[in-house]
Amino acid sequence: MKLFLGVCLALAVAVSAVEIGAPEADSPVFGYHTRFGIVEAARIKKLEEASVEDAGLSGQRIVGGSVTDISATPYQAGLVIQVMIIFQSVCGASLISHNRLVTAAHCNNDGSISANSFTVVLGSNTLFSGGNRIVTRDVVSHPNWTPSTAANDIAVLRISSVSFTNVIQPIALPSGNELSNNFNGANALASGYGLTSDGGSISTSQRLSSVTLPIITNAQCAAVYGPWVHNSNICTSGAGGRGTCSGDSGGPLVVTSNNRQILVGVTSFGAADGCAIGLPAAFARVTSYVSWLQSQ
């Protein structure tokens, strides 16, 4: 189940190393829209419009998981992003209230291109059709968002108020003792629109998939991605070829705590050499940003 977390550019010590010297070029999120998002938007839209079941994508999304329904992850939102006036890019997001969503900052500004507008898609198994579709230009990236280092990769989208239904529900933010929990070893659910296996095909009836992933320590994650991993990141294991991949940046990572689901991560980056090669995925750690999110 690969979600391409934002832009998976692996600096992995053991995989196709990228020289660390030109931060803008090396950053795993810099240039996301032109490198990944626009291509993914075109592929997904073509598949939906043509209703082709066997038009294989090259594994650019959730891999190693299973097809799910939006009713199982009603906080999941899709983002169709207008960039450079004539192009579209894609990301994911999480609904946290009647009028606010959390996404990745690089979905708004990837260091090279800024979004013109967002179409927020709620309550739908597909990105380019169906659901409650709301256009907004009201987005706030974290004030310390730094594309060159991938630090503080989190943003808030504001929309007109939506009514909650069985397929549109907010996800809770961590609170109380959860704010000091690193969640290491916990199983978390990542979700997004796309493939369920590398080299597979997208079903015409459903695009939304999910995968359960174990949360690993930041030290384990930094052993692969080095300086791109910050204290404000949370990472999941890619063991068994399961994880997130390109195109679903900004999407949710959720755990069950105190008998409810809470948002603990926002998809940021992973390995560019392939989503099923067993490398970790990195997310913005929501517990580092709860106060800021609530102030928005």
**Stated pTM of the model:** 0.82
Domain 23-295 has CATH 2.40.10.120: yes
Task: Give the per-residue pLDDT at 4.
Answer: 39
- Sheet hosting strand 87-95, strand order edge to edge: 132-136, 115-122, 76-83, 87-95, 100-103, 155-158, 139-141
Query: The tokens 């309550």 sit on which residue?
Result: 123
Residue in 106, 191, 246, 248 annotated catalytic: 106
In the chain, the percentage of residues whose pLDDT exceeds 90 is: 60
DSSP letters of 133-150? Answer: EEEE--EEE-TT-BTTTT
Residue in 97, 209, 249, 257 annotated catalytic: 249
Pull the structure tokens for residue 93: 């997001």
Mean pLDDT of the chain: 82
Q: pLDDT at residue 194 above 90?
A: no
Q: Is residue 249 annotated as a catalytic residue, yes or no?
A: yes
pLDDT in tens, 76-101: 999 999 999 899 998 999 999 999 99
Q: pLDDT at residue 18 above 80?
A: no
Query: The tokens 């066997």 sit on which residue?
Result: 54
Q: Is residue 273 annotated as a catalytic residue, yes or no?
A: no
The CA distance from 191 to 210, in Å, is 4
pLDDT in tens, 254-284: 999 999 999 999 999 987 666 777 899 999 9
Q: pLDDT at residue 57 above 50?
A: no
Residue in 26, 110, 153, 198 annotated catalytic: 153
Task: Give the per-residue pLDDT at 241.
Answer: 83
Q: What confidence tier does 34 reach under pLDDT thresholds 50, 70, 90?
A: low
User: Which of 29, 262, 11 is CA-nearest to residue 145?
Assistant: 29
Q: Is residue 71 annotated as a catalytic residue, yes or no?
A: no
Q: pLDDT at residue 205 above 70?
A: no
Is 264 in contact with 254 (CB distance < 8 Å)?
A: yes
Q: What confidence tier does 172 reach under pLDDT thresholds 50, 70, 90?
A: very high
